[in-house]
Structure 1
Amino acid sequence: MPQLLHVDSSLGTESVSRRLSAYFAEEWRDKHPGAGYVYRDVAAQPIPHITEPVHQALTYPDAEQRQSPQERELTEAITREVLDASVIVLGVPMHNFTIPSTLKAWLDRLVHPAHMATPSPLGGKKVVAVLSRGGSYAPGTPREAFDYQQTYLKAILEAIGLGEDLTFVTAELTMANVAPQMAQFKPLAEASQANAYETLEKLAQ
């Protein structure tokens, strides 16, 4: 049975990335009745940053007992959710040119040698990364080189086998509606979000 893993990382409950990831999840579930669904909100329920015992356990199998049972259970739960999923949707706002630290903490539980093998046990999944940015970092824009959001996610997801079927859907200029100095970009922001919704609807087929 197909299963969707839905991960949100925005601090705002009404954020653009949350609305878009929720839209994909609703469309996908509507088109796959009876399919499984798991939701994890790493902003509302933050995952602790990995400690030295957790890092050692992830890196060296013989160090497994160095971490606490609670730490081991959390890592196993996160890993199981990814392994069981056939489709993963990530809601990812840009924080200071990159991804939220809460999402980084989630990824840190997945990035270790066993998952970086070829082929990776995490491979074979469809991944939709829904990105939102207050400004524009598109190719040819002045801040193109400041994009450590998509570039980081692409690199790290590919490293653990989640880049085989990876699609980025981006809504840019989300601050245009609240920042007076960006008012001129409102039409571009609206077009960007409309395109994101249209793309997500197609991807949910």
Structure 2
Amino acid sequence: MNDTELITLLRSGDRGAYTEIYRRYKGILLIHAYKKLGDFEEAKDIVQETFSFLWKDRDEIPDTKNLAGFLYTVVRNKILNYIEHKKVESKYASSFIQFIADENHLTDFLIREKELVALIDKEINALPEKMKEVFVLSRKGNLSHKEIADKLNISVFTVKNHIKSALKTLRPKFELLIMVSILLNLY
């Protein structure tokens, strides 16, 4: 039978015509799909989808004398859809990997920030008691020198001296901590 007769029988639901078309074109379509995809399993899936489409939509098959050309076109379109789908999958996978990398970086940053704050608090707690109290009220409590002096019943001059001495003690230690933190963030 020629292709035109096979299509006519196929449209009427003739399973024998379908089997003949499958037998006649499966091999060459498989080779064609494999050459385009480079993956034998994917090529088999494309050809299987093509023949499923052929049976399911047999009423919609256009009149053609070139069944091979029609089938090649269906396979080509399915390959293009497959490639486009793979591009979308790849884009989402890359996006997900980037999200995970960013999330890990953020988590790492937050952990290091917490460790740095703990080290700074440790250095502040090592100050003499009155100096520490004045420094904490100034830097963490955001109180003015006058407000601290009033609160602790000491002179503004004493407050200034405590803060000056605390900064003189802490500055070299903080600089070292910041340098170490920067170096750790580089790696």
Q: Same fold (TM over 0.5)?
A: no
Relative to the length of structure 1, the TM-score reads 0.22
Relative to the length of structure 2, the TM-score reads 0.23
Q: Which has the higher contact order (CA 8 A, sep 6+)?
A: 1
Which structure carries more helix by proportion?
2
